[in-house]
């Protein structure tokens, strides 16, 4: 009876978004009279950072400070259409729509500024700090605030833009069943190190080390936050969580947080993550997505590490002590 | 059977009429309008409703409202000093220790209770202090780091 260490590897090829009857997202951008910008979006922020990333994308495209952009995801009934925050699609699909809307709004902003400065809109640029200026002659400038004021009160114009991103429906080839549901894939490789107690069947995850290739990381801290949280969730899926009873009796099934097991803060192992940035051709500034794949690689990596440690293959989640002990018994012919 | 409950909420005297058997969480959220403690499991297993009662952390969903009569209640709304955030709140923000945010008020209150009695906690003490608070997003590590960071910030403030 002893504790055995093992190491397991998993690699992931993850589709960004989905495609049943086409996968669209839309965004609307408009300037307020004070020269702040609002992005209306139905892609809901559930803590993953949709609003932060939207702000960054709109500010970058418009050429204004990120503080001057506000994101309104208040109501999916009245906002521009989005398929939703799922399938790791938010940054990729909605992000592209936000960029398109911001580009159109910027064009109107430059046109109004050009009228005020009596120059060609093509000769204008934004300085990223709240000014529109003549290229090569930054002293000839007007603040974004003043442009918005003139647009609203003098020229009767709406500084606004519409954005649409659609991955069109992909028909199934009747001969082969083939289709192309997505336009880009993210990738990862993870190594899990575990310790398995062959007397109790208990598994302790000692470390998770991973490299993630996710296109451009638009916000590195948010990416790392999701990957660390996702690693925890992956451990939880692998070793703890199930709505089914651990024993074959419905009465033993979990009904609350006392019995629906998840790892606590003391069960979390060190997680080391490296990001590889290979911009996606059709991603917003090269971004892919990081939503769901953060929780998947720990599961096969831990299963492989258990096999490496004690030589048993557990093929059903979660990898509970009962399943490991039964498999060890079967292996020993008991 | 109703009962008048007078208490000090985040430093201000307040009063409300509670139904017999009503819990402190319902009193705070529905009668006194402080929705910062969250209603998660309502059976004392998630920690999202944690508040301080005379400085001690309690699960508001399992505490009878009338037991708060004549006592001090601190919710996460009472942590900040005017516009100035509490060092715990600053550390949580700077350390990306919240995602959906639902567990955050309970985490902050559990951490406040720890730092009030142990200003220089070990990692193990931090883990112990938040062991009753469930988080589904962060993987806990950023929360543990943020609480340790807040302890250092508070020590710096004391000089």
Domain ranges, ordered by start, for chain B: 2-78, 87-158
Structurally, what CATH architecture does the domain formed by B87-158 represent?
A: Orthogonal Bundle (1.10)
pLDDT of B16 above 70: yes
User: What pLDDT score does A304 carry?
Assistant: 98
Give which of B59, B73, B51, B63 is closest to B6, Cα–Cα: B73
**Nearest CA-CA distance, residue B88 and chain A, Å:** 18
- The 10s digit of each residue's pLDDT in A72-110 is 997 888 999 999 899 999 999 999 999 999 999 999 999
Instruction: Measure the CA–CA gap between A240 and A231, rounded to whole angstroms.
Output: 13
Q: How many contacts, defined by CB atoms under 8 Å, are there between A and B?
A: 60
CATH 3.40.50.510 fits B2-78, yes or no: no
Q: Look at residue A249 in the predicted model and tell me its pLDDT.
A: 79
Residues 6+ apart with CB under 8 A from B92: B98, B104, B107, B108, B143, B146, B150
Which of residues A161 and A251 earns the better pLDDT score? A161
Residue B119 pLDDT class (50, 70, 90 cuts): very high
Residue A116 burial by Cβ neighbours in a 10 Å radius (0-12, 13-18, 19+): middle
CA distance A233 to A223: 15
What average pLDDT does the segment B123-150 reach?
97
Nearest Cα residue to B125 out of B114, B110, B138: B114
Smallest CA–CA distance from A219 into chain B, residue = B96
CB contact under 8 A, B98 and A47: yes
What is the per-residue pLDDT for A89? 93
pLDDT at position A302 is 98
Closest residue, chain A, to B135 (C-alpha): A264
Contact B143 A256 (CB under 8 A): no
Of B126, B130, B139, the CB nearest to A228: B139
Strand arrangement of the beta sheet that strand A124-126 belongs to: A124-126, A131-134, A137-143
- Chain A residue whose CA is closest to B138: A229
Q: Tell me which of A10-19, A117-126, A296-305, B72-81 is least confident.
A: A10-19
Mean pLDDT of A214-224: 95
Interface confidence, given as ipTM, is: 0.92
Of A7-11, A174-178, B68-72, B139-143, give the lowest mean pLDDT range: A174-178
* Chain A touched by B138 (CB under 8 Å): yes
Interface probe for A, chosen from B125, B134, B139 (most Cβ of A below 10 Å), is: B139
pLDDT in tens, B44-90: 999 999 999 999 999 999 999 999 999 999 999 999 998 999 999 99
Decide if pLDDT at B100 tops 70: yes
Instruction: Round the average pLDDT of chain A to a whole number and report it.
Output: 94
CB contact under 8 A, B99 and A225: yes
The reported pLDDT for the residue numbered B32 is 98
Cross-chain residue pair B99–A47, CB shorter than 8 Å:
yes
Check residue A246 and give its pLDDT: 67
Q: Helix, strand or coil for residue B82? A: coil
Domain architecture of chain A: domains with CATH: 3-16+184-331 (3.30.365.10), 23-167 (3.30.365.10)
Quote the radius of gyration of chain A (alpha carbons, Å).
Answer: 26
pLDDT over 80 (residue B136): yes
Q: Which pLDDT belongs to residue A250?
A: 75
Q: What distance in Å separates the CA atoms of residue B132 and residue A265, rounded to the nearest whole number?
A: 10
Mean pLDDT for the stretch of residues A177-205:
94
Percent of chain A, pLDDT > 90?
84
User: Do B2-78 and B87-158 come out as alike in CATH topology?
Assistant: no
Read off the pLDDT band of A259 (50, 70, 90).
confident
Say how far apart CA A147 and CA A121 lie, in whole Å.
13
What is the reported pLDDT for A255?
84
Name the residue with tokens 């200026």: A133
> Averaged over A210-237, what is the pLDDT?
96
């Amino acid at each position: 009876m002893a504790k055995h260490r093992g190491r397991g590897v998993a690699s992931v090829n993850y589709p960004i978004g989905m495609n049943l009857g086409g996968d669209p997202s839309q965004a609307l951008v408009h300037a307020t009279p004070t020269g702040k910008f609002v992005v209306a979006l139905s892609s809901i922020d559930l803590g993953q950072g949709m609003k932060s990333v939207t702000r960054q994308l709109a500010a970058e495209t418009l050429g204004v400070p990120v503080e001057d952009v506000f994101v309104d995801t208040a109501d999916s009934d009245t906002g521009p259409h989005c398929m939703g925050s799922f399938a790791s699609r938010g940054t990729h699909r909605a992000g592209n729509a936000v960029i398109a809307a911001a580009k159109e709004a910027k064009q109107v902003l430059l046109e109004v500024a050009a009228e005020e400065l009596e120059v060609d809109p093509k000769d204008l640029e934004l300085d990223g700090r709240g000014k529109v200026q003549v290229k090569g002659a930054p002293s000839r400038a007007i603040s974004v605030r003043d442009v918005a004021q003139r647009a609203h009160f003098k020229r009767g114009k709406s500084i606004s833009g519409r954005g649409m991103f659609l991955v069109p429906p992909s028909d199934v080839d009747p001969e082969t069943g083939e289709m192309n549901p997505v336009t880009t894939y993210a990738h990862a490789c993870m190594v899990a190190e575990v310790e398995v107690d062959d007397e109790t069947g208990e598994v302790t995850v000692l470390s998770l080390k991973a490299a993630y290739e996710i296109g451009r990381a638009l916000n590195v801290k948010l990416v790392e936050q999701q990957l660390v949280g996702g690693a925890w969730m992956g451990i939880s899926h692998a070793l703890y969580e199930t709505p089914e009873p651990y024993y074959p009796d419905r009465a033993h099934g979990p009904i609350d947080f006392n019995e629906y097991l998840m790892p606590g803060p003391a069960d979390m192992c060190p997680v080391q993550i490296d990001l590889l940035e290979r911009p996606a051709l059709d991603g917003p500034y090269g971004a892919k997505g990081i939503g769901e794949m953060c929780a998947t690689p720990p599961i096969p990596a831990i299963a492989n590490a258990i096999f490496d440690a004690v030589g048993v293959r557990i093929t059903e989640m979660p990898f509970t002590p009962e399943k490991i002990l039964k498999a060890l018994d079967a292996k020993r012919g008991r | 059977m109703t009962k008048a409950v007078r208490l000090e909420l985040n430093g201000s005297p307040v009063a409300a009429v509670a139904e017999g058997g009503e819990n402190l969480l319902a009193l705070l959220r529905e009668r006194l309008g402080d929705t910062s403690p969250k209603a998660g499991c309502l059976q004392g297993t998630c920690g999202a409703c944690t508040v301080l009662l005379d400085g001690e952390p309690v699960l508001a969903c399992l505490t009878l409202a009338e037991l708060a009569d004549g006592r001090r209640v601190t919710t996460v709304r009472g942590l900040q000093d005017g516009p100035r955030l509490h060092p715990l709140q600053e550390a949580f923000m700077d350390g990306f220790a919240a995602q959906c945010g639902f567990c955050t008020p309970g985490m902050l209150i559990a951490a406040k209770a720890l730092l009030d009695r142990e200003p220089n906690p070990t990692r193990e003490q931090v883990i112990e202090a938040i062991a009753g608070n469930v988080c589904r997003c962060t993987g806990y590590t950023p929360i543990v780091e943020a609480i340790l960071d807040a302890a250092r910030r508070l020590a710096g403030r004391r000089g």
